Structure 1
Amino acid sequence: MAVMELRNVVKKYHLADGNDFTALKGINAQFEAGEMVAIVGESGSGKSTLMNAIGGLDSDFTGEILYHGHNLAQFSQQELVDYHKKSIGFIFQNFNLIAHLNLVDNVAMAMTLSNVDEKTRVARAEQLLTKVGLGDHMYKKPDQISGGQKQRVAIARALVNDPDVIIADEPTGALDAETTGVILALIKEIATEGKLVLMVTHSDRVAAFCDRELRIENGKLLATTPTSSPATTPAVGRLEKVANMSLAKAIRLAFLNMKAKFGRNFLVALGSSIGIMAVILMLALGKGVTTYVSSTMKSYTNPNITEVHKQAGNQQKAMQNPQQMDRAEIAKQQQANIAAMTGASGGGFTDKDIARLKKIKHVDRYQLGYSAFSMGNNAVTYHGKRASVLMLQTMSDNIAKSTIVKGHAPHRGEVVLDKGTADLLGKDIVGKQVTFDLKVGTKNLTKTMTVAGLYEAQTQSVSTMIVSYDEVAKLYSETGQTLEPNVIYLHTANKDNTKQIKNKVKKLGYTGSMQEQMTEMFTQMLNVITWVLTAIAAISLVVSAIMILVVLNISVVERTKEIGVLKALGARRKDIRRIFAAEAFLIGLFAGILGVAFTYGLSLGINRFAHSAFDITLVMLTPKYVMTGIILSVVISMIAGILPANRASKLDPVEALRKE
């Protein structure tokens, strides 16, 4: 049975004016293994169109092209890919070598597309290059060898997967007479090894070198050998299936191309990295400032303590549905807030409240507390000097020892004053007696107490007096009133449990300290500002995406012929998309790494200045932000690469190979 048989092959082109042009007009021919056949014709005669059809590059024809009895017109897309990889080898007039690959990689390309392992394909490529006389040049680039040597590389590439059919399209058209003879001898040797060689040429010298000649003119064969084959030839087994290129090999090809155009790709990655750097820097700066504010506020409290305040019903409703409160309810809530601050609300913790809080998991003990904000009613006098006291609170484990800068915690009949108030009254006031005019609940009281120590906290600027809970209870008793605690301090042995306890307290309908609420408010404000600044910085990423889109589109235009060669060698659309998507991925990855590196350098400089000026870490570059930046860079680059990758995959191989 013939290797290849053509039966009434007709090819028409649909013109823009609605007419058809018939390029092939009922071609019939038969080709056997070991033949070297010249297909001769002038330019425009249809010989290249016929070769494109035989080579599986153009399946839009009528009639039958039978390869071992299988009709190419009925091949699926995958069968055509397998046909290109295993059954057909192309030798082009202009060589069509891939400029940024060395000779071994050029020859082994069809095996790369077939997912052959590196050791096997390199050994096969080196064997063929040695066979065609290029053993000393195999790791050179195409622009480092002569035209005749390039054609030898093309011959080796055509043979690498041991195909049955070799199609040589004007293989000597770009060569001198001496080199032409050498190339023809090589091709003749291929035919004698049992392969069918179809030589497209307009040269009578080349045609004379072949076993027989088929002359084509105006789409018709003027001379052909008769065929004795039956009208229908049965198929002889299934076509051989070939593996497809893996993602790893697509990434390698993309890397080699990027390496060849390193300067341009580096500038693109550099431009993209600036946007990534801005985003990471804003996130890290926000993290640093938020952490500083939070840690500063927490440094003056005990991390094992949870401070609990009772929340009024109106307050809870306001927090849940603030828009549903009318003016009367809002006014009532404001009065409740004032009463709570002044300690006159009467809404202290009941035994039931205390029991509920004691049952919270990980709470090992609790303290009762009291705090009240005075609207100018409380004052302290010492040796004729008088100062207002705005805040009265009880001593608890929540007050860090470091905040009492002089003296000790208050006992019965003692008080701790804030350092600012003490400075107004006079120096060396610790251990001295002072007189207080106090409003206790609803009644006024004058009381003499000993200053046990001085208190200083950067988070609290109001004048403060701190006494023991028992002392406040005694003051209430002296005025005929009963003290109800309005603060509960919950203690846990392990500070890692504090957050869990605070969350449970909120679920039960209570609130944390004013300090915690302020911290949360500042943190929320800083988070909003951080995200706004990050969003503004992210605008530059849009510019980066457009830049990558443009560069990859330019790359598609520059590599149109290369894409045609890859498709002729058996590359699927998916393979082409993968190569360009891999390039986009590598650009994004490189840009992300550059952005992280730049951010790291800037953070070192900013933090060095912040440490020397304020003793704080202003930029906190966490692994989370590093990964966010790199992933964001890759995703944006991949999105920008979708259109160029699809465009490249849809290129028609015939048109791509014609592009100069």
Structure 2
Amino acid sequence: MEILQLKNLIKLYKLAGGGTFEALKGINASFEAGELVAIVGESGSGKSTLMNLIGGLDSDFSGEILYRGKNLRDYNAKELSDYHKKSIGFIFQNFNLIPHLNLVENVALAMTLSNVDKETREKRAKELLAQVGLTDHLYKKPDQISGGQKQRVAIARALINDPDVIIADEPTGALDAETTDTVLDLIKDIARSGKLVLMVTHSDRVAAHCTRVIRIDNGQLISDENFGGFKVTEKAADFKEPKIKNMSLYNAIRMAFLNMRAKLGRNALVAFGTSIGIMAVILMLSLGRGVTNYIQSTMNSYTNPNVTEVHKQSMMPAANSTSTSQAEISQMQQNNMAALTGSSSESNFTQSDLKKLQKIKHVDSLETGYTTLSLGTNSVEYGSKSATIMTLQTMSANIIKSSIVSGKAPGADEILLDKGTADILSKNIVGKNVTLKLMIDGKQVKKTFKVSGTYEQQGSNFSTVIMRYQDLAALYQANGQTLSPNVVYLYTKNKDNTEKIKEQVKKLGFSGSMQETMTEMFTQMMDIISYVLAAIAAVSLVVSAIMILVVLNISVVERTREIGVLKALGARRKDIRRIFVSEAFLIGLSSGLLGVGMTAVLQVLINNFTSAKFDVNVVSMTFNYALAGILISVIISMIAGLLPANRASKLDPVEALRKE
């Protein structure tokens, strides 16, 4: 049965200096199943060129190569890939086994490219290795067996998908005489099984074993001797031909992993180098977050988490203010000073303001208050001792019990002093009567109050007096003044709602406490510093990307022949790209994971030190930071791997197989 036919086959090569060279000059021949054809000729005669064309490794020709009636030149990329996987098997002179794969994996390679399941391809590979007498060497690597055994592995690989045509390019050229006879016997058996075997050779001794000898000289077929084909034996019925598919992403990643494992030392160094950059980026972000968390927790520890402090206008310039006008800055300072000293009515809340705040969702109760800053006009006296009061504020739920270090919260006609001021007046001031002097509308007012307790300063060195709003309002009224609230405290039973309430307060045009504004400004500043430091650390990732690019380019050079073998077995350009991009992905993934791991170790070491010295953890790595570090590592690695992967996919299989 005719399988292959050549009609007026011509192959031209373009010469570097211009012009062309005719390697094949109108070859005509037809071949049938069961033939063992020796194609004999001296070096440069055109026999290897003919085999490359028949094998579909080179599609640039004139004339026709008809495989089962269809010209190979008319095959599209998918059809040509399927032709390599299913119809053609290659046996090379130099075996071309992939060194980091064991014998089973080498033989099953074509099935791997066809996405055949692992169980099926391993079973088939073991059966073929048994047929060629290598049952005891299944899991050895190619460098652990002899030359003759390597060629038998190559024969088994050529048969894995049960192709119609076997192309053997000088299959005995690298073997001794005894091994040559063994290999030729195996090749004869292949032809007897009904396959067409085309064997390129320059040896008449080898050609004598064939059923047909074609001689080529100077690109022309000069003789064709047919001695009659073998009697074809029936094909074994226990092999079910697999369905040809494309290689899966999983198999591409697996092949990439096996190659990386073979070059473990080099790839580990590349991954480690990249991981240092990833670690630096994550560490800078985590350090910024840790310091910010510490400041926020310290500031918040003095306030009730269920309470939101509200002011009519900000006590500080907006954290994101971009105003550059000197007049605007000066006016803002004047407004702030008026608000701080209580001399501005614009900072007072109206009944309308209070109703708006009361309607905010999750607010369970509202408490009015008053706070003012005096510039040496207010004081408190005990006996002969006096202390200037900088801040006067009213008692609220925002002052938590843990802040009161002695005594209790103020009741009627009682005040609370900060501990520093209390120590100035007397070590045992709690329960004693003191005289409070306040400046109200330009007039100094005196009144006696009992000291109910002392409290710890809220991150401030200001001397402070705290009293009930009712008492301060009564004092104002007694002097013909009306006290209007300039601060409001919103209480919620569930502290998880506090942040939502704060967001609504800002939407209504009000602002938070000075402490809250300062915390926001500090947080923004720390974020900027963290991102700048992370960006500086990220510069090292550029070096890492270049390193990965260089390593993968070296890998392409080292594996040029392997790429040629893969293409001969049916690998598409896409498959080759996937394998190399997968290697870049695995390098990036391992770098990212290593970077995260190193950051975690450093976090423990740094936090142990700072916790022992300062009772604070300054590094706070989050899951998002870790994930971002891994993703950045993977993305940079894959981008760096695109160029080498694309270069590998475009390698000409004929040239790749010639690579020494």
Do Structure 1 and Structure 2 share a fold, with TM-score over 0.5? yes
Map 1:214-293 onto structure 2 (within 5 A). Answer: 214-224=214-224, 242-293=244-295
Deviation readout 1:27-62 (Å, 9 max, x if unpaired) = 111111100111111001110001000000000001
Q: Structure 1 residue 36 and structure 2 residue 36: aligned?
A: yes
How many angstroms does 1:400 deviate by? 1.1
User: In the alignment, is the contact (CA less than 8 A) between 1:440 and 1:475 conserved in 2?
Assistant: no
SS at structure 2 position matched to 1:373: strand
Alignment of 1:300-339 (within 5 A): 300-311=302-313, 323=323, 327=327, 329-339=328-338
Question: What residue number does 2:342 align with?
Answer: 343
Match of 2:128 in 1: 128
CA distance in structure 2 between the aligned counterparts of 1:566 and 1:301, rounded to whole angstroms = 69
Cα distance per residue 1:389-420 (max 9 Å; x no partner):
10000000001111111111111211111111
Secondary structure, counterpart of 1:122 in structure 2: helix
| Whole-Å separation in 1 of the counterparts to 2:7 and 2:243 | 25
SS at match of 2:582: helix
Stretch deviating more after TM superposition (417-426 or 70-79): 417-426
**What is the 5 A alignment of 1:494-643?**
494-643=494-643
Task: Label 1:609 to 1:458 Cα distance change in 2 as closer, same or farther (>3 A).
Answer: farther
Cα deviation 1:601-657 (Å, max 9, x = unaligned):
111111111111111121112222221221111111111111111111111000000
Separation of aligned partners in 1, 2:269 and 2:636? 17
Q: State the distance in 2 between where 1:246 and 1:58 align.
A: 25
Amino acid at match of 1:173: G
8 Å Cα contact 2:129-2:153 kept in structure 1: yes
1:211 aligns with 2:211: yes
Note the residue ranges of structure 2 that are not aligned, 5 or more in a row: 227-240
| Secondary structure, counterpart of 1:427 in structure 2 | coil
**CA separation of 1:361 and 1:407: change in aligned 2, threshold 3 A:** same
Q: CA deviation at 1:371?
A: 0.2
Counterpart of 1:490, as a letter, is: L
For the Cα contact (< 8 Å) 2:116–2:242, is it kept in 1?
no
Quote the Cα distance in structure 1 between the aligned partners of 2:620 and 2:274. Answer: 22
Asked if structure 2 preserves the Cα contact closer than 8 Å seen for 1:85 and 1:114, the reply is yes
| 1:85-105: CA deviation from partner (whole Å, max 9, x where unpaired) | 000000000000000000000
Q: Report runs of 4+ in structure 1 exceeding 4 Å deviation.
A: 318-322
Residue pair 1:47, 1:200 contacting (<8 A) in 2 also: yes
Q: CA deviation at 1:240?
A: 10
Instruction: Give the share of equivalent positions with the same residue, in percent.
Output: 67
In the TM superposition, 1:24-173 aligns within 5 A as 24-173=24-173
- Distance (whole Å) between structure 2 residues aligned to residue 63 and residue 94 of structure 1: 30
Per mean C-alpha deviation after superposition, the further-off stretch among 368-377 and 1-10 is 1-10
Counterpart-to-counterpart distance in 2, 1:577 and 1:67:
29
CA contact (8 A) 1:369 1:487 kept: yes
More deviation, 496-505/456-465:
456-465
Give 1:377-526 correspondences, 5 Å limit. 377-526=377-526
Letter in 2 for 1:289: V
- Residue type matched to 2:364 in 1? D
Aligned to 2:10: 10
Q: CA RMSD in A?
A: 1.8
Task: Note the alpha carbon deviations across 1:317-358, whole angstroms, 9 max, x for none.
Answer: x8898548672x544332221110001112311111111111
What displacement does 1:425 show? Answer: 1.6
Q: Compared with structure 1, are the counterparts of its residues 588 and 324 closer, same or farther at alpha carbon in structure 2 (3 Å cutoff)?
A: closer
Q: Which one-letter code corresponds to 1:343 in the other structure?
A: G
Cα deviation for residue 436 of structure 1 reads 2.2
C-alpha separation in 2, matches of 1:458 and 1:484 = 24
Superposed displacement of residue 443, structure 1: 3.0
Cα offset for 1:471?
1.1
Given that 2:316 and 2:517 are in contact with CA atoms closer than 8 Å, whether structure 1 keeps it comes out as: no
Distance 1:475 1:22 in 2: 114
For 1:291, the aligned partner's letter is: N
Going from structure 1 to structure 2, the CA distance change for 1:240 and 1:432 (only over 3 Å counts) comes to closer
Please tell me the residue identity of whatever aligns with 1:611: S
8 Å contact 2:319–2:517 — kept in the other structure?
no
Q: Does 1:372 align with 2:367?
A: no
Deviation digits for residues 113-166 of structure 1 (CA, Å, limit 9, x no counterpart): 000001110010000000001111111100000000000000000001000000
**TM-score for both structures, normalised by structure 2:** 0.95
1:437 deviates by 2.1
Counterparts of 2:441 and 2:651, CA distance in 1: 87
Q: Which amino acid aligns with 2:279?
A: M
Partner Cα distance (2:151, 2:322) in 1: 82
TM-score when scaled to structure 1? Answer: 0.95
Confirm or deny: 8 A CA contact 1:279 1:534 kept in the other structure.
yes
**Counterpart of 1:377 in 2: which secondary structure?**
strand
Contact 1:441 1:476 (C-alpha < 8 Å) held by counterparts: no
Aligned to 1:23: 23
Whichever residue aligns with residue 525 of structure 1, its letter is: M
Give, as a single letter, the amino acid of the residue that structure 2 aligns with 1:650. Answer: K
For 2:441 and 2:362, the matched residues in 1 are separated by 34
Give the total of aligned pairs: 645
Residues 574 and 649, structure 1, Cα contact 8 Å, conserved in 2:
yes
Deviations 1:473-523 (A, max 9, x none): 012112211111000101111111111110001010100000100111111
- d(CA) in 2 for partners of 1:54 and 1:247? 30
CA–CA separation in structure 1 for the residues paired with 2:530 and 2:204: 77
Q: 1:426 Cα shift?
A: 2.1
Distance 2:157 2:326 in 1: 84
Which ranges in structure 1 are unaligned for 5 or more consecutive residues? 227-238
Distance 1:167 1:156 in 2: 13
Report the secondary structure of 2:633's partner residue. Answer: helix
The amino acid of 1:242's aligned partner reads: I
- Partner of 1:111, secondary structure, is helix
Instruction: Give, in whole Å, the separation in 2 of the partners of 1:249 and 1:76.
Output: 24
* 1:433 maps to amino acid: N
Determine helix, strand or coil for the equivalent of 2:375.
coil
Question: Secondary structure of 1:44's match?
Answer: coil
Deviates further, 544-553 or 69-78: 544-553
- Structure 1 pair 362–162 and aligned structure 2 pair: CA distance change class (3 A): same
Letter in 1 for 2:459: T
How far the C-alpha of 1:224 sits from its partner, in A, is: 3.1
> Partner letter of residue 463 of structure 2?
S
The answer as to whether partners of 1:82 and 1:241 remain within 8 angstroms in 2 is: no
Corresponding residue for residue 229 of structure 2: none
- 8 Å CA contact 2:36–2:212 kept in 1: the answer is yes
Cα deviation 1:559-610 (Å, max 9, x = unaligned): 0000000000000011111111111111111111111111111111111111
Deviation at 1:457, TM superposition (A): 2.4
